[in-house]
């Protein structure tokens, strides 16, 4: 299969996934209890004309097919509609929050990877995966994100970045430790060590390139993991990011906002999951 065909296939699959995400989210929220009720209809400050317009809007959204057509058409034009809750364009709500969440994710992933890599380098130098060295990661993995965030908040130590970093470090440490342990035992590495090649050179020149594909896969997994942790972390730390926006929209059945956020998330996860094989393939070409 040529590169162009594989890229086209990936694009077609991603588009199909996006389409199904839009349709699925629309159906789900449309049939959510209380979706068709609008608090503004009972607000006396609205003129009779505005109230009838709201009723007409609600009546239009009774048809699920019409609603789906509108949502898909709007999403294709890059228009996510207007928030029911805040009455402002959804893109205006998402864009500034994307920056906040992006910074939080970037710092969390960076710090988490640094901690995980250092711990794995230290741990893999030992003979066996000892319980003592694995214990912190095991305990951290058993703490729900919300509990970890609450502890940090109550103890007034660390913020959302630390919680995100600890979560990722615990998850990634186990993979990195196992990968590094395997790499150290490779015959050519053992031979190089026996010949007195320095550890630093071994790591940079031999081990890192051989682990590159696995590290790429782990990086994409880290993005998916950190996105899942985004909601409790942002809600509990009161960070005005996409996670908190989605939580708010979910509680208030704000379909346009929810759809916009879901699409952004689906694009992020799909791209991160497929970027790795694509980049490896392009590099090898």
User: Which residues would be at the binding site for other proteins (CB under 8 A)?
Assistant: 13, 16-17, 20-21, 24-25, 28-29, 31-33, 138-139, 141-147, 150, 154, 224, 227-232, 235-236, 243, 246-247, 250-251, 253, 258, 261-262, 265-266, 269-270, 273
Cβ count within 10 A of residue 26 = 21
Give the residue carrying structure tokens 């789900």. 28
Minimum CB separation of residue 77 from other proteins in Å reads: 21
The tokens for 78 are 């890059």
Minimum CB separation of residue 190 from other proteins in Å reads: 28
Contact 103, 282 (CB under 8 A): no
Nearest Cα residue to 174 out of 145, 211, 125, 134: 134
Based on CB atoms, which residue is closest to other proteins, 24 or 53?
24
Spell 51-69 as b/e; 16+ CB within 10 A means b: beebeeeeeebeeeeebbe
Based on CB atoms, which residue is closest to other proteins, 212 or 216?
216
Minimum CB separation of residue 57 from other proteins in Å reads: 20
Residue 47's SS3 state is: coil
Based on CB atoms, which residue is closest to other proteins, 232 or 256?
232
Q: Whats the size of the chain, residue-wise?
A: 285
Cα(114)–Cα(117) distance, integer angstroms: 5
Minimum CB separation of residue 278 from other proteins in Å reads: 16
Minimum CB separation of residue 222 from other proteins in Å reads: 12
Provide the 8-state DSSP code for 40.
Answer: G
Cα(130)–Cα(201) distance, integer angstroms: 26
Minimum CB separation of residue 35 from other proteins in Å reads: 8
Based on CB atoms, which residue is closest to other proteins, 210 or 272?
272
Minimum CB separation of residue 265 from other proteins in Å reads: 5
The tokens for 85 are 């809750």
Nearest Cα residue to 149 out of 243, 251, 242, 234: 234
143 CB-contact burial (10 Å; exposed 0-12 / middle 13-18 / buried 19+): middle
Q: What is the 3-state secondary structure (H, E, C) of 96-109?
A: HHHHHHHHHHHHHH
């Amino acid at each position: 299969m040529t590169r162009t065909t594989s890229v086209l296939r990936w694009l077609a699959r991603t588009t199909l996934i996006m389409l199904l995400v839009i349709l699925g989210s629309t159906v789900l929220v449309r049939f959510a209890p209380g979706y068709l009720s609008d608090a503004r209809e009972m607000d006396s400050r609205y003129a009779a004309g505005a109230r009838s317009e709201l009723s007409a809007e609600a009546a239009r959204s009774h048809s699920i097919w019409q609603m789906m057509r509108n949502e898909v058409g709007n999403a294709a034009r890059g228009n996510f509609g207007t928030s029911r809750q805040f009455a402002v364009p959804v893109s205006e709500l998402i864009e500034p929050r994307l920056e906040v969440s992006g910074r939080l994710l970037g710092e969390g992933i960076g710090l988490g990877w640094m901690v995980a890599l250092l711990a794995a380098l230290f741990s893999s130098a030992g003979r066996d995966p000892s319980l003592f060295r694995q214990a912190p990661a095991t305990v951290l993995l058993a703490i729900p994100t919300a509990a970890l965030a609450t502890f940090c908040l109550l103890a007034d130590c660390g913020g959302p970045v630390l919680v995100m970093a600890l979560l990722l470090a615990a998850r990634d440490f186990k993979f990195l430790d196992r990968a590094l342990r395997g790499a150290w035992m490779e015959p050519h590495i053992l031979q190089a060590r026996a010949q007195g090649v320095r550890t630093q050179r071994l790591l940079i020149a031999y081990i890192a390139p051989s682990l590159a594909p696995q590290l790429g896969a782990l990086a994409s997994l880290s993005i998916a993991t950190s996105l899942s942790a985004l909601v409790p972390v942002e809600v509990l730390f009161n960070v005005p990011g996409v996670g908190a926006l989605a939580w708010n929209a979910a509680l208030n059945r704000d379909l346009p906002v929810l759809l916009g956020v879901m699409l952004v998330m689906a694009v992020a996860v799909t791209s991160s999951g497929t970027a790795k094989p694509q980049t490896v393939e392009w590099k090898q070409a």
